[in-house]
Amino acid sequence: EADIYQTPRYLVIGTGKKITLECSQTMGHDKMYWYQQDPGMELHLIHYSYGVNSTEKGDLSSESTVSRIRTEHFPLTLESARPSHTSQYLCASSDLTSPTDTQYFGPGTRLTVL
């Protein structure tokens, strides 16, 4: 079982607020990811990281930003939340040396922006 954690699990916040979604993993994985998932829909990659000080944008354009200062920590920040940011955000990690790049997921953060 993977050890990857996300906080908060649920967040309801007003428009214009700055928020940070936390993601941490204890597996020593180099690669980490953020996905956005609307209800009943597929996952879309919004950010990923190969390791410390490495961040890249994913397939889906997002106004959020990420940082990777420590291997185990990959927070996502929205400077000014808007209702269009309402979604579920899933964090995942994988071992860079694994040939299959198996990704392990956290429980997700369900964000609602009023």
Partner 1 sequence: AQSVTQPDIHITVSEGASLELRCNYSYGATPYLFWYVQSPGQGLQLLLKYFSGDTLVQGIKGFEAEFKRSQSSFNLRKPSVHWSDAAEYFCAVGAVDTGRRALTFGSGTRLQVQP
Residues 27-86 that bind partner 1 (CB under 8 A): 31, 40-43, 45, 48, 56, 58-59
Tell me the DSSP string of 81-102: --GGG-EEEEEEEE-TT-TT--
- For partner 1, the closer of residues 17 and 58 by Cβ is 58
Token look-up 């649920």 returns 10
- For partner 1, the closer of residues 75 and 106 by Cβ is 106
Which stretch, 11-19, 63-71, 76-84, 99-107, contacts partner 1 (CB under 8 A)?
Answer: 99-107
Q: Are 113 and 86 in contact (CB under 8 A)?
A: yes
Distance of CA 77 to CAs 27, 74, 99, Å?
23, 10, 30
- For partner 1, the closer of residues 15 and 98 by Cβ is 98
CB of 77 to partner 1, least distance (A): 20
Q: Does 108 contact partner 1 by CB under 8 A?
A: yes
Q: Does 106 contact partner 1 by CB under 8 A?
A: yes
Residue 107 in tokens: 């429980």
CB of 49 to partner 1, least distance (A): 11
Q: What angle do CA 72, 75, 78 make, to 5 degrees?
A: 175
